Amino acid sequence: MRSLRDFCLRHHISALWDVAMAPYTTFRIGGNVSALLLPCNEEELTQALRFLSQNGYRFRVIGNASNLLFDDSGYRGVLISTRHMRSLSWDADGVRASAGAPLNDVIRRAAEKNLGGFGKLYGIPATVGGAIFMNAGAFGLSVSDFVSFVNVWDTKEEKMRILSAEECLFSYRSSIFSVKREWIILSASLRLERVPCREGMVILRETLQKRQEKQPLFYPSAGSVFRRPEGYYVGELVEKAGLLGKKEGGACVSSKHGGFIVNLGGASSSDVLTLIALIKQEIKNRFSVDLELEIEYMM
């Protein structure tokens, strides 16, 4: 790790060493990582990616870690969080947002500028990069509906790429970036509609209200644990299987939304994994449905 420390010092890139991941995740779960790099802009991120690839480090880029379950033993490698890369530049039709910009900030600030169309995504605790990677969505809309270009750093070929929305191969909670792991999202241009501020703000308020009614937002979680299986709602299946409120250690199947596992306090990754295994087994036995994870397990 010594040379990574030297690199960060030389390039003034903020880093935390041997740090617990739990506070950096929405689940509040996860052990230590040897290095968490926090670049402030796209140039610092690119420099760090170049250094890590050239020196053979195992690494991952994360956003707000709102879709991740880190193991209690932490992550074996270097993590780069984009959370300090928040720059936004606006024009009449939309915005160019750095990968770490919180999607909620983009949506709220767009509404203030009479821009919108994506207000129903308000409340998803994603960065722009994480939202594009996952093709995050809600209430019938997905991030892919608004992407015009994504700027990417190709860590294998060490060059920039500009991908059109078509080239991102978006589908339900998926994009080319889950296949091309070596392509790191630096920023994206989002194309927005003209929406009067007052109208836009009403949509944001209504959307937040719906989320508060449906989701267990009081407790830490990583959102929906499973992908929606064709023709079913996970929450309904879990409820019919009598698993609402089922506890394991500090983890619990939310009684408000059966698709969520929440951390009641002090949950470990193995508590969550135990509940996941139980839910999968029960749903398979009772309904012959194979549930697939939407959250990603990191170790």
Q: Which residues are catalytic?
A: 173, 224, 294
CB atoms within 10 A of CB 84: 15
Determine which residue in the list 30, 63, 200, 259 makes contact with ligand FAD, applying CB under 6 A: 63
Q: Does 200 bind ligand FAD (CB under 6 A)?
A: no
b vs e for 24-53, b when ≥16 Cβ sit within 10 Å of the residue's Cβ? bbbbbbbbbbbbbbbbbbbebbbbbbebbb
> x-or-dash pattern for ligand FAD, window 11-40, by CB under 6 A?
---------------x--------------
Residues 94, 129, 200, 259: which binds ligand FAD (CB under 6 A)? 129
Single residue of 13, 15, 78, 131 touching ligand FAD by CB under 6 A: 131
Query: Could you tell me the end-to-end alpha-carbon distance of the chain, in angstroms, rounded to an integer?
Result: 18
- Separation CA 299–CA 296 (nearest Å): 10
CB 36 within 8 A of CB 16: yes
Binding mask 202-231 for ligand FAD (x = CB under 6 A): -------------x-x---xxx--------
Q: Which string of x and - marks every residue 256-295 that binds ligand FAD (by CB under 6 A)?
A: ----------------------------------------
Residue with tokens 């809600």: 138
What's the rounded Cα separation, in Å, for the pair 155 and 67? 23
Please identify which residue in 99, 115, 147, 163 interacts with ligand FAD, judged by CB under 6 A. 99
- Kindly state whether residue 137 participates in binding ligand FAD, applying the rule CB under 6 A: yes
127 binds ligand FAD (CB under 6 A): yes
Considering beta carbons, is residue 113 or 210 the nearer one to ligand FAD? 210
Residues 259, 261, 246, 72, CA torsion sign: positive
Neighbours of 91 (CB within 10 A): 10
Nearest to 160 by CA among 55, 79, 45, 78: 45
HSE (CB half, 13 Å, CA atoms) of 226? 27
Helical (H) or strand (E) element with 69: strand 68-70
147 touches ligand FAD by CB under 6 A: no
**Phi/psi at 124 (5° precision):** -75, 120
Question: Which of 4, 33, 65, 69 touches ligand FAD by CB under 6 A?
Answer: 65
Of positions 50, 60, 84, 191, contacts ligand FAD by CB under 6 A: 60
Determine if 185 is a binding residue for ligand FAD (CB under 6 A): yes
Residue nearest to ligand FAD (CB): 130
Q: State the Cα–Cα distance between residues 265 and 228, nearest whole angstrom.
A: 27
Look at phi and psi of residue 252 and say left if phi exceeds 0, alpha if psi is from -120 to 50, else beta.
beta
Q: How far is the CB of 16 from ligand FAD (least distance, A)?
A: 16
What gap in Å lies between CA 156 and CA 53, rounded to an integer? 8
In the list 8, 29, 48, 62, the residue contacting ligand FAD (rule: CB under 6 A) is 62
Q: Give residues in contact with ligand FAD (CB under 6 A).
A: 26, 60-68, 82, 99, 124-127, 129-131, 133-134, 136-138, 177, 184-185, 215, 217, 221-223, 296
